[in-house]
Each structure stands twice: as structure tokens, then as C-alpha cells.
């Protein structure tokens, strides 16, 4: 912006190429090349004001944020090692996963592996090899290094809603799962 509400167009070195000042309804000025320039807004549409986001857009934005984890409601780190059952649909067992004891807060995390065969193609491709637990979030680490965050709700781990895919993990000692991960040692 130039002084007095005008407009200055600069080259990549910051030198003014065209300086326009207010005149009537438009802007006029002279360029460094000696030419006269006029910007007249008459008969040109103005840019529309941004439309406020709809309720659906606000909900989608909120869902994209990480879920807030209540540390008081999160399980103790020493309770996490064990056998888990993964599910993509309610009460439909997918694969069994073992989270081994170890330094779960280290960069690579503690070891994780499937317990037996896993027929879920997505989980097999993900190929969990480790896990971390930080600030109430359980992260499963894939062989290629990427991870997925799980949050603990209603007695089970579920994929953080900011993620697009649904998966759940719950204890085989518990009988309910709402698309999450459950833990347990009695699954066979």
C-alpha cells in the first residue's frame, strides 16, 4: 500500500514499478516505464465476503483436532502390555496384537506384534512393530515408521477421530467394542 490509500506495485528487488493514488472512484498513476495507468472498479465485480462456515464445516474442523485426553481417566502405563483384539466393526474380531513390556516412551517404543495370523489386509500392511504411550495416548508404530494414535474411551482404545479409518482395540476380558482396540490375555 502506498501513502494516502494508494497502491504500489514493486518488482522482485522492491523497487516501485507502478505507483497508483486515489482519484475519484478509482486509482491512477504513472509507471516506471512512463506509461499512465488507471484502475477503475466500475463494472467489475467485487470479491464476495467470506461465507461463515456451516455447522457441518465447524464440526469437521473440530473433528480434525486431536481428541483431548484426560490424564486422570487414562490407564496407567504399566497396565498396557498384554494381548489386544483389533476390530473394524462392533463385536467382529479382526486380529490379535501383543504389546510387549518395555520402554513405551522411547522413540521406537516397546515391541508389538501380531499374535497369530491377521486376515485384515489394512492391518497387515500397517504391520505394527512397536508402541508408545505418552500423555494418555497409545501410538502403534508401523514397520515403516509411521504411527496411529489411539485414545481410551469407555473402557477401550479407539483410533483418534482426526484419523479417517476406523479401528478399535479392546480387552478380550471386556465384552463390548465400539470400533476400537481392546486388551486382554484370555483370547485364544
Find where cell 482426526 sits: 162
Fold of 77-184: Lipocalin (2.40.128)
The pLDDT value recorded for residue 185 is: 42
pLDDT digits (tens, 9 = 90+) for 136-179: 888 899 988 888 888 888 788 888 766 544 455 544 443 333 33
Task: Report d(CA 95, CA 89) in Å as an integer.
Answer: 12
Is the pLDDT confidence value at 133 over 80? yes
Task: Report d(CA 28, CA 34) in Å as an integer.
Answer: 13
The pLDDT value recorded for residue 105 is: 59
Is the pLDDT confidence value at 131 over 90? yes
Mean predicted confidence (pLDDT) in 91-112? 81
Task: Report d(CA 132, CA 105) in Å as an integer.
Answer: 5
Where does the pLDDT of residue 3 fall: very low under 50, low under 70, confident under 90, or very high at 90 and above? low
The pLDDT value recorded for residue 188 is: 37
Find where cell 504399566 sits: 78
The pLDDT value recorded for residue 169 is: 57
Q: Where are the beta strands (DSSP E) in the chain?
A: 7-10, 16-23, 26-31, 36-39, 82-89, 92-99, 110-114, 128-134, 137-142, 147-153, 156-159, 168-170, 181-184
Structural domain boundaries in the chain: 3-39, 77-184
Amino acid at each position: 500500500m502506498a501513502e494516502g490509500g494508494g497502491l504500489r506495485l514493486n518488482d522482485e528487488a522492491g523497487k516501485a514499478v507502478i505507483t497508483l493514488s486515489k482519484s475519484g472512484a478509482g486509482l491512477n498513476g504513472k509507471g516506471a516505464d512512463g506509461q499512465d495507468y488507471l484502475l477503475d472498479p466500475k463494472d467489475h465485480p467485487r470479491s464476495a465476503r467470506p461465507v461463515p462456515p456451516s455447522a457441518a464445516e465447524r464440526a469437521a474442523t473440530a473433528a480434525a483436532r486431536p481428541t483431548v485426553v484426560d490424564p486422570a481417566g487414562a490407564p496407567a502405563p504399566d497396565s498396557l502390555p498384554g494381548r489386544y483384539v483389533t476390530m473394524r466393526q462392533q463385536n467382529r474380531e479382526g486380529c490379535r496384537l501383543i504389546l510387549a513390556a518395555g520402554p513405551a516412551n522411547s522413540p521406537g517404543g516397546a515391541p508389538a506384534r501380531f499374535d497369530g495370523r491377521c486376515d485384515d489386509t489394512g492391518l497387515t500392511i500397517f504391520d505394527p512393530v512397536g508402541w508408545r504411550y505418552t500423555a494418555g495416548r497409545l501410538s502403534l508404530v508401523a514397520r515403516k515408521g509411521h504411527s496411529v494414535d489411539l485414545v481410551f474411551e469407555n473402557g477401550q482404545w479407539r483410533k483418534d477421530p482426526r484419523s479417517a479409518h476406523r479401528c478399535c482395540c479392546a480387552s478380550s476380558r471386556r465384552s463390548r467394542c465400539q470400533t476400537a482396540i481392546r486388551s486382554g490375555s484370555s483370547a485364544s
